[in-house]
Amino acid sequence: MSDTDPQLLAHRLRVAFPAVTSLTVYARSPLTIKILVQQWPGLKRVKLVRWHQRLALWPIGEDFVCLLEQCENLNWLDLSTFYYWTEDLPPVLQACPKVSASLVHLNLLTTSFAEGFKSQEIKEITTACPNLKNFLVACNFDPRYIGFVGDETLLAVANNCPKLTLLHLADTSSLTDVRGDPDNEGFTSEDAMVTKGTLVEFFSGLPLLQELVLDVGRNVMDTSMALEMLNSKCKDLRVLKLGQFHGICLAIESQLDGIALCSGLEELSIKNCGDLTDMGLIAIGRGCSKLSRFEVQGCKRITEKGLRTMACLLRNTLVKVKISCCKNLDAAASLRSVEPIRDRIQWLHIDCVWNGWEEIGNSEQVGLSFWHNQVEEPSRLFSLMGSEYDHEMRRKKCKYSSDVSDGYILENNGFWCKKWDRLQYLSLWIDVGELLTPLPAAGLLNCPNLEEIRIKVEGDCRGRSKPSERAFGLSSLALYPRLSKMQLDCSETIGYALTAPSGQMDLSLWERFFLNGIGELRLSELDYWPPQDRDVNHRSLSLPAAGLLAECLELRKLFIHGTAHEHFMMFLLKIPNLRDVQLREDYYPAPENDMSTEMRAGSCSRFEAALNRRHILD
């Protein structure tokens, strides 16, 4: 604030907290970093945050010079939510070789980057930091761009940082939390310049890897043979995420190949694999028998049969599943596919693609019909894999009985159960304008231990007609008795913040539609991302939204990821035991405070004072 001496404030912080070794700070300007690191030269871990734009008048590397010069014990640096230029970092790391050599963790997965780090910059960073154990970086694998990442860069990373145990190389296009085109078959128009031979050499140079993410955003073809090397070259690998890799498991007859040979994997994510089939899923279930988490996204050729058989094979270990943007797996099919682990699963993501109200409304008849028609299907699939494996799996596989109750097949020993007994976290994607109300009928009716739900609403409101219903359907979640935490993310919902064209709704009316009924839930914690108008960079709480949020009478924590007018915030004082309220401009570019009437420091201070004046029972 203008009336506060920053040096005095930093001194007061040091007096209050003299032994700080770990610091997270929102650094709007390099001056903030410079003043703070002078107070704690013994810092070991630093996370910098900035969603505002970097000013062009600042010298290259200005944000990092003082940090690396003053903090000689620094070994952990996180810049994943800090906006800067990629050319800022490499020169500073090269100029401070002692500190750079001591770094063991460097997170450069900055989501606000348009193009990411160039190949030469990654080489310079890894050369300066040879002792890295964790390295996460946003880059560009598109060969049409100057400085794209390809074979040469991958080999440089392996050669320069052989001690890596965690490595994330992600194309900037994969960092956006936006659902892909459901009609895309998984292949891109361009191939990445990453070859099979390079992948083998790359894996061989990183024997200590425990977690690997290669989300390249461009086709990497015929990778089965290279992925087989992971099992022998990276024996400690437990977590693997592949994006745009094709031919990962050929699944020819009963022979295991490709990724199915990575028997030590505990978490596997497959994204946009254009040729992954049901037989590939079954092979992965056979070979990767320790999987506790499996994610599949944008794989158009897999179906409910393959995923269900895989879940049956992994019944003893699999507890976390994500199914997203798979053409043949709508909401009901996704839920049926994980039914073999229904009594064990703890974490689940599905897309709310209903494919017709009539089918969902008659879900019991649909499920019963499926079972009568498909009960012998696993036997047919297993018979294709060879007699030896067929004999073993016939001994282990699920034995279905003829007992039918409420549309579900139950084994004599209770193998299938009606409840999602252990489901604690549910994540949903839903298209804007769709309703949430079919969710219980789709199969999630009885979740006695569900505590937290995340709902991602995505789409363009502009040009859409007014929804046929008054409410989105949040009130339908009241049937989950232990639901207390919600993340309602409408940040990728785009509309008109100001005056909408005739016949269309502005964002305030869409917010009323989304939040109607939220007061019927017994929520204690809520994260809410308002919808946005990109043309004016507007993400703000509207009057209807403030009024509806004020009806959540049991809220203790409310985080609004956007801005809000002071008089709208005062509505929240009606919530009797509200303790923690935060306004977070955690998106790029964050609005300038001095240009906004919604984020004035005085307004926030008055609301905070009013919140603190209230008597709270506990």
pLDDT in tens, 238-273: 999 999 999 999 988 888 999 999 999 999 999 999
Assigned domain for 66 exists: no
Amino acid symbol at 11: H
Please report which confidence band the pLDDT of residue 501 belongs to, taking 50, 70 and 90 as the band edges.
confident
Assigned domain for 235 exists: no
Find out whether 521 and 552 touch, Cβ atoms under 8 Å: yes
In this prediction, residue 498 carries a pLDDT of 80
Find the CATH number of the domain harbouring 594: 3.80.10
Task: Give residue 525's domain range.
Answer: 425-613
| Closest-CA residue to 218 (of 246, 192, 251) | 192
Convert the pLDDT of each residue in 562-613 to its tens digit. 999 889 999 999 999 999 999 988 888 887 764 556 667 788 889 999 999 9
Assigned domain for 315 exists: no
pTM for this prediction: 0.88
Residue holding tokens 């498991």? 249
Convert the pLDDT of each residue in 144-177 to its tens digit. 999 999 999 999 999 999 999 999 999 998 887 6
Convert the pLDDT of each residue in 265-319 to its tens digit. 999 999 999 999 999 999 999 999 999 999 999 999 999 999 999 999 999 999 9
Find out whether 69 and 62 touch, Cβ atoms under 8 Å: no
**Rounded distance between C-alpha atoms, residue 552 and residue 526, angstroms:** 9
**Token digits for 461?**
């409101």
- Round the average pLDDT of the chain to a whole number and report it: 87
Assigned domain for 289 exists: no
Mean pLDDT of all residues in 123-146: 96
Task: Give the up-direction half-sphere exposure of residue 34: CA atoms within 13 A in the CB hemisphere.
Answer: 9
Please report which confidence band the pLDDT of residue 3 belongs to, taking 50, 70 and 90 as the band edges.
low
Find out whether 227 and 200 touch, Cβ atoms under 8 Å: no
- Alpha carbon of 334 to those of 221, 272, 325: distances in Å? 28, 17, 11
Mean pLDDT of all residues in 125-154: 96
pLDDT at 391 over 80: no
Assigned domain for 449 exists: yes
Mean pLDDT of all residues in 492-513: 89
Convert the pLDDT of each residue in 76-103 to its tens digit. 999 999 999 999 999 999 999 999 999 9
Mean pLDDT of all residues in 203-209: 96
Assigned domain for 602 exists: yes
Assigned domain for 608 exists: yes
Convert the pLDDT of each residue in 309-359 to its tens digit. 999 999 999 999 999 999 999 999 999 999 999 999 999 999 999 987 434
Q: What count of other Cβ atoms lies within 10 Å of the Cβ of residue 524?
A: 16
- Alpha carbon of 475 to those of 161, 472, 508: distances in Å? 52, 8, 19
In this prediction, residue 205 carries a pLDDT of 96
Assigned domain for 491 exists: yes
| Closest-CA residue to 443 (of 368, 344, 523) | 368
Q: What count of other Cβ atoms lies within 10 Å of the Cβ of residue 390?
A: 17
| Crossing angle of helices 278-287 and 304-313, rounded to 10° | 10
Across 443-539, the runs of DSSP E, i.e. the strands, are 452-460, 485-494, 525-529
In this prediction, residue 158 carries a pLDDT of 97
Total number of domains constituting the chain: 1
In this prediction, residue 345 carries a pLDDT of 97
In this prediction, residue 369 carries a pLDDT of 36
CB crowding 434-457: b at 16 or more within 10 Å, else e: bbbbbbbbbbbeebeebbbbbbbb
Burial class (CB in 10 A: 0-12, 13-18, 19+), 180: middle
Chain-centroid distance of CA 73 in Å reads 32
